[in-house]
């Protein structure tokens, strides 16, 4: 199928990280899709904290930047060209991109937990390029068609929303659950939205920032709790005081050692702590307290099998992610957008990659 890319639109402006602190805008060639791939004209791409971390440090844990890499993994766009084997998509379709694609049918793929596959491709994780560019090729099976009433920006926000879905599933959030969320950044806020949609009856959310807690209140938190200089046990007691009981599920979104301690103390016996935030490799936690009270501690790594549920949540109106977008920049101003995110301004910064269409 011929590609409707005009002569004037041949540039493939891309946001490329060369080394720690060295972020550049470069023009790359427009790729050709393979048999099971689609070529996308990118529309909206959100900036994630991990993008900023790679920019500042050149690595996250064992993932180390060794060659130039295109950033970006929270994305949506329009299909421009399809590979010969693609049947479910056609040029003109609007899609959300799931950035993690299994490379082999290993035991994790077969058990439905493909996010744990050690060889998985993942956008903007070294050495794999992301999609913060004008044109991008992706596996068609991991591109999901958006309903007409779901915008491109909502499509891009399915990626962080998926973290919330996966965290709430791992925690067993269901009708009537009481939930405590540590951290009211973008991930804490999507966990709040999903917990509400899954039937949580009451939600406490804590943060140091009064501004972020105000946003949490607008999004449906029952008890925004501003953390002071109290000890983890004292903060846990405040959570219990607000709810009248200890919560069944705690979702820890900061990775900060003291917050992990608070999460364990604050969870009722037999409950679940879900660790979402990534902090230092080693942490001192009250493990005996968790063990004798049968508090389960569960980690999450990205997500899997979440895009269909997220699209249904958005299309039905059960979840509204639109208030999360606080800043928008054209792709040409990517460096300014990254600096805005680095400074912690607003909630979600969105880059608009399509020169002809800068709409939400």
Clarify whether residues 34 and 102 are in a common domain: yes
CA distances from 192 to 60, 109, 205, 320 (A): 26, 29, 8, 11
Clarify whether residues 24 and 129 are in a common domain: yes
Residue 135 lies in a domain: yes
Share of the chain above pLDDT 70, in %: 97
Q: What per-residue string of b and e applies to 205-229 under the rule 16 or more CB within 10 Å gives b? A: bbbeeeebbebbeebbbbbbbebee
Give tens-digit pLDDT for 205-243: 999 999 999 999 999 999 999 999 999 999 999 999 999
Distance CA 259, CA 286 (A): 12
Clarify whether residues 180 and 91 are in a common domain: no
Residue 29 lies in a domain: yes
**Which residues does 35 contact at the CB level (< 8 Å), separation at least 6?**
83, 84, 85, 86
pTM (global) more than 0.85: yes
Q: Say how many domains are in the chain.
A: 2
Neighbours of 148 (CB within 10 A): 7
Share the mean pLDDT of the chain: 95
Residue 77 lies in a domain: yes
The secondary structure of 80-111, three-state, reads EEECCCCCCCCCCCEEEECCEECCCCCHHHHC
Give tens-digit pLDDT for 131-177: 999 999 999 999 999 999 999 999 999 999 999 999 999 999 999 99
Clarify whether residues 214 and 264 are in a common domain: yes
Look up residue 202 and give its two tokens: 């009451």
Residue 36 lies in a domain: yes
Look up residue 256 and give its two tokens: 């900060």
Range from 9-23, 131-145, 170-184, 273-287 carrying the lowest mean pLDDT: 9-23
CATH code of the domain containing 44: 3.90.180.10
pLDDT of residue 259: 98
Please give the average per-residue pLDDT across 196-211, as a whole number: 97
Evaluate if residue 3 carries a pLDDT over 70: no
Clarify whether residues 45 and 135 are in a common domain: yes
Place of tokens 């958006």: 146
Give tens-digit pLDDT for 31-44: 999 999 999 999 99
Distance CA 301, CA 348 (A): 21
Residue 314 lies in a domain: no
Give tens-digit pLDDT for 38-93: 999 999 999 999 999 999 999 998 999 999 999 999 999 999 999 999 999 999 99
pLDDT of residue 6: 52
Clarify whether residues 25 and 137 are in a common domain: yes
Clarify whether residues 171 and 293 are in a common domain: yes
Residue 206 lies in a domain: yes
Structural domain that includes position 18 = 12-145+321-352
Neighbours of 282 (CB within 10 A): 6
Clarify whether residues 286 and 327 are in a common domain: no
């Amino acid at each position: 199928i011929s590609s409707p890319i005009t002569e004037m639109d041949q540039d493939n402006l891309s946001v490329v990280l060369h080394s720690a602190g060295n972020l550049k805008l470069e023009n790359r060639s427009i790729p050709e899709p393979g048999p099971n791939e689609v070529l996308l004209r990118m529309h909206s791409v959100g900036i994630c904290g991990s993008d900023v971390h790679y920019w500042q440090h050149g690595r996250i844990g064992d993932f180390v930047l060794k060659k130039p890499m295109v950033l970006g993994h929270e994305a949506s766009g329009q299909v421009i060209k399809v590979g010969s084997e693609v049947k479910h998509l056609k040029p003109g379709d609007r899609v959300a991109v799931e950035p993690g694609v299994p490379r082999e049918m290993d035991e994790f793929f077969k058990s439905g937990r493909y996010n744990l596959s050690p060889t998985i491709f993942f956008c903007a994780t070294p050495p794999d390029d992301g999609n913060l560019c004008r044109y991008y090729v992706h596996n068609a099976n991991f591109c999901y068609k958006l309903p007409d009433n779901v915008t491109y920006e909502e499509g891009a926000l399915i990626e962080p929303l998926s973290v919330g879905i996966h965290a709430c599933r791992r925690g067993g959030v269901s009708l009537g659950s009481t939930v405590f969320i540590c951290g009211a950044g973008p991930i804490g806020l999507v966990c709040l939205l999903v917990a509400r949609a899954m039937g949580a009856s009451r939600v406490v959310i804590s943060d140091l920032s009064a501004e972020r807690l105000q946003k949490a209140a607008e999004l449906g938190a029952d008890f925004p709790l501003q953390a002071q200089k109290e000890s983890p046990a004292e903060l846990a007691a405040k959570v219990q005081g607000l709810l009248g009981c200890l919560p069944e599920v705690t979702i820890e979104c900061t990775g900060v050692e003291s917050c992990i301690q608070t999460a364990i103390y604050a969870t009722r016996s037999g409950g679940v702590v879900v660790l979402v935030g990534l902090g230092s490799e080693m942490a001192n936690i009250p493990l005996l307290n968790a063990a004798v009270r049968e508090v389960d501690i569960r980690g999450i790594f990205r997500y899997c099998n979440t895009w269909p549920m997220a699209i249904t949540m958005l299309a039905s109106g059960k979840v509204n992610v639109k208030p999360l977008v606080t800043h928008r920049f054209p792709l040409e101003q990517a460096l300014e957008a990254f600096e805005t995110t680095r400074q912690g301004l607003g909630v979600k910064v969105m880059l608009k990659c399509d020169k002809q269409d800068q709409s939400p």
